[in-house]
Amino acid sequence: MIGTEHDPQEVTRILFRDFPLWMMVVFYMAAVCALGSFAYGTYAQIRKYRRGVRSGAWSPFVERFVGMVRDVLSHRTVKRRDTSAGIAHAWIFFGFGLLFIGTSVITLEYDILGPLTGLTFWHGRFYLVFSLILDVAGVGLIGALLYMMYRRKWLGLPKLDYARPDRIPEDPDYDRSFYRREDWAFLWILILIAVTGYILEASRLVWLQHDATVWDYRWWSPFGAIIAHFLQAVGVGSEGGAEFRMGLWWFHGLLAFAFIGLIPYTKVKHIFTAMGSLMARDPDAKCHLPMADVDEEKIGFSELTDFTDKYLLNFDACTKCGRCHEACPANAAGYPLSPRDLVLSLRELADDKLSDVRLPEGPIEICGDGVNQIRPETLWSCRTCGACTEICPVGVEHLPMIVQMRRALIEEGEFDPVLQPTLRSLQKSGNALGESRRKRPRWTRKLDFAIKDARAEPVEMLWYVGDYASFDPRSQKVTIAFAEILHEAGVDFGILNEDEQTAANDVRRIGEEGLFQAIAEANIELLAECDFKSIVTTDPHTFNTIKNEYPELGGTYRIEHASAVLERLIREGTIQIPKNLSYRVTYHDPCHLGRLNNGFEPPRHVLSELGADLVEMPRSKDNSFCCGAGGGRIWLPEPPELQKPAEIRVQEAAEIGGLDVLVVNCPKCLNMMEDGVKGSGNENNFRIMELIELVAEAMTAGKPGQDDGAQEAVEVA
């Protein structure tokens, strides 16, 4: 590696040769200024975060830190659904990281260990190997940066255009072109630092071409050596290399110092804020909303200082990648909501109001028509489907923020008047459809067997039916079919009859926390009086809230969604399937079952056992596109000028050739998709069927006198 004629101590990188004293002084003054700017900016950012409510989100520290490091090193979250961008980002991250480590190692030896202890190591074999590593890392960094430039300039990705759906051009905060300028400045400064580093290396080699301890080892910096030979070819000699090196050295160094000093004030700070955000991430943020003390004077977030320190950090962690913007069903349908733009508005408001030494007088309102305030119609557009929170590569928790702001609006009475009768109905009769409690079990009259009353006798399985499954005529057909399946399978089950009321999942998600807790506590008290081993429900919304949110109020149960029960009964042979279904089907994952609770496989196993030909839609499983019913939106009318999310979803299914059935697995999805199939003009192209209906059809097919009845039972009314 090093010839015997050379002293390994002399095979090293020279730093300040031929520098007069004043240059050394200026260099270190510039370094101190850059570090001072970085330190003060970091302090100012931390001060801003501390002006929020303390969350304690970083405990247990070691466990969270290890998880963050694993995510960062694997780039797992960055690669999801955008592999090319994720790989490019990884090259930028690791390339920049290695180059930064290399610079830090030189600083460690030259400015700290060398003067204090006499220890040196930046020479010989260590220097050559590390020089090769840094050379390769730099090329990877430059290549990835060029790809990111190509991606922004020529691919024309809508998610990167920063057009705001919640503002009109006349609004003072409509224009966000400064973000595009910041993105390009970030890419260019990194490109310039990296490229000038190579040219600086090449000019050093040309300058010292007569020094064997330098020139003989040039190919340990292969790309720098190639440029050095090019400089020689165009006539640059040793003296020219020296002059070129001196000027470029200062340009490169001051550019690097500027980069360091500007980190806390620019997009570059996401290197640190993203790590903090990933550490603080709540893995249950999609399915479990934060509890509020309903006895407090104030509920929810109405002022900027109501946000926790974690959420204030989330604002700065956002990299504007647009994945949440792309995944949001409200945004896709033309509603004034982009999760990205909501977070950026809050970031800009926080930078404007919380960054000064002193806080402004009075409360900093976050909802309203002012600059960077969140419009109420933006918040009410949300379906609480969790798509934004689930896909964010840096752990931003949009969903809890939106619900917290909704809570404040509800407390102040600022909500759509159409919600008022729904809330009254929920308080009075325990359901959102305005039906009398006595009507809840009427669907059972269509059965030729009695269902046990779980209030009066023990049952193995308590069936929490849910509102739409109990009252909606179309959903009642599914409810009856599920009851018949359980009965034929010999399952010991019962219901709560007229004492059942909504599980209140959507009540909580519209922001009515007080009503949610009142209903949930009443339900838990009722369930405590019943004797059962497990709960089943056909409603993913009910499933989610009983599974994930009731435990915090004292109600912990073993609960299954109906699809998991069907899969188990089929697998165990309890349910007999005498005939395979030859339908070509696609399956719509309900948000509350799939994305929020990972209930992806049981429904697919059931379809496989039924013999159906399942063709997945482009957006499926955790990337499923919401039907639009969640977050209380099923209770609100859709503006006629906008496309419904369900119509978008149905159209996606319609692109599958020869489709017979779009399979759903939720009463609300069933309701929305049937409207969607009509609104999109596909009612004659394929049917909307519940998974339970397919199982019922397969069970009854082939039985004497049952074929016609089975088919009639599953046809859309």
pLDDT at 705: 53
**pLDDT at position 714 over 70:** no
Tell me the pLDDT tens digit for each residue of 522-552: 999 999 999 999 999 999 999 999 999 999 9
* Same domain flag for 382 and 430: no
**pLDDT at position 313 over 50:** yes
* Same domain flag for 133 and 232: yes
Residue 55 lies in a domain: no
pLDDT at 279: 97
Both structure tokens of 133: 């590593």
Question: In angstroms, rounded to a whole number, what is the distance separating the alpha carbons of residues 358 and 451?
Answer: 66
* Same domain flag for 495 and 592: yes
Q: Are 552 and 291 in contact (CB under 8 A)?
A: yes
The mean pLDDT of 450-467, rounded to a whole number, is 97
Q: What is the mean pLDDT of the chain?
A: 93
* Same domain flag for 188 and 304: no
pLDDT at 428: 93
* Same domain flag for 426 and 322: no
* Same domain flag for 300 and 217: no
Both structure tokens of 606: 């059931």
* Same domain flag for 450 and 538: yes
64-78, 151-165, 337-351: the lowest-pLDDT one: 151-165
SS3 52: coil
**pLDDT at position 686 over 70:** yes
Q: What are phi and psi of 32, to 5 degrees?
A: -65, -40
Is the backbone peptide bond immediately before 363 cis, with ω within 30 degrees of 0?
Answer: no
**Sorting pLDDT into bands at 50, 70 and 90, what band is 715?**
very low
pLDDT at 118: 80
**pLDDT at position 212 over 80:** yes
**pLDDT at position 713 over 60:** no
**Sorting pLDDT into bands at 50, 70 and 90, what band is 710?**
very low
Task: Give residue 643's domain range.
Answer: 420-714
* Same domain flag for 643 and 665: yes
Looking at the structure of the chain, the number of domains it has is 3
Q: Which residues pair with 321 in a beta bridge?
A: none
Residue 50 lies in a domain: no
Per the rule left: phi > 0, alpha: psi between -120 and 50, beta: everything else, 507 is alpha
Residue 282 lies in a domain: no
Tell me the pLDDT tens digit for each residue of 560-589: 999 999 999 999 999 988 878 989 999 999
Question: In angstroms, rounded to a whole number, what is the distance separating the alpha carbons of residues 94 and 197?
Answer: 17
How far is C-alpha 251 from the chain's CA centre?
A: 40
pLDDT at 702: 54
Percent of the chain with pLDDT over 90: 85
- Measured CA distances, 470 to 124, 437, 440, 716 (Å): 79, 10, 6, 17
Which of 277, 312, 335 represents a domain boundary (last residue)?
Answer: 277
- For residue 112, what are the contacts with CB-CB under 8 A and spacing of at least 6? none
pLDDT at 631: 94
Question: In angstroms, rounded to a whole number, what is the distance separating the alpha carbons of residues 165 and 564?
Answer: 39
Q: Which residues pair with 534 in a beta bridge?
A: 461
Which is more confident, 220 or 709? 220
pLDDT at 607: 96
* Same domain flag for 444 and 295: no
Amino acid identity, position 225: A
Tell me the pLDDT tens digit for each residue of 93-111: 999 999 999 888 888 888 8
* Same domain flag for 219 and 326: no
Tell whether the torsion through CA atoms of 14, 17, 20 and 21 is positive or negative: positive
Tell me the pLDDT tens digit for each residue of 43-100: 999 999 999 999 989 999 999 999 999 999 999 999 999 999 999 999 999 999 999 9
pLDDT at 703: 61
* Same domain flag for 317 and 445: no
Question: In angstroms, rounded to a whole number, what is the distance separating the alpha carbons of residues 293 and 271?
Answer: 35
Residue 633 lies in a domain: yes
Tell me the pLDDT tens digit for each residue of 229-274: 999 999 999 999 999 999 999 999 999 999 999 999 999 999 999 9
Residue 333 lies in a domain: yes
Q: Which residues pair with 561 in a beta bridge?
A: 537
Residue 252: other Cβ atoms inside 10 A: 20
SS3 453: strand
Which among 625, 614, 628, 689 has a CA at the least distance from the CA of 652? 625
Q: Are 407 and 301 in contact (CB under 8 A)?
A: yes
Which of 411, 435, 470 represents a domain boundary (last residue)?
Answer: 411
Task: Enumerate the H helices of 533-600 as residue ranges.
Answer: 540-548, 562-571
Question: In angstroms, rounded to a whole number, what is the distance separating the alpha carbons of residues 712 and 717?
Answer: 9
Amino acid identity, position 99: L
Residue 53 lies in a domain: no
pLDDT at 50: 95
Residue 82 lies in a domain: yes
SS3 493: strand
The mean pLDDT of 637-660, rounded to a whole number, is 94
Question: In angstroms, rounded to a whole number, what is the distance separating the alpha carbons of residues 181 and 64?
Answer: 34
Which of 383, 411, 439 represents a domain boundary (last residue)?
Answer: 411
115-129, 171-185, 661-675: the lowest-pLDDT one: 115-129
**Sorting pLDDT into bands at 50, 70 and 90, what band is 117?**
confident
Taking the C-alpha atoms of 107, 88, 596 and 563 in order, what is their torsion angle to the nearest 10 degrees?
Answer: -140
Q: What is the DSSP string of 609-622?
A: HTT-EE---SS-GG
Question: In angstroms, rounded to a whole number, what is the distance separating the alpha carbons of residues 492 and 387?
Answer: 37
Both structure tokens of 565: 């029960």
pLDDT at 716: 38
Residue 448 lies in a domain: yes
Q: Are 174 and 164 in contact (CB under 8 A)?
A: yes
* Same domain flag for 664 and 544: yes
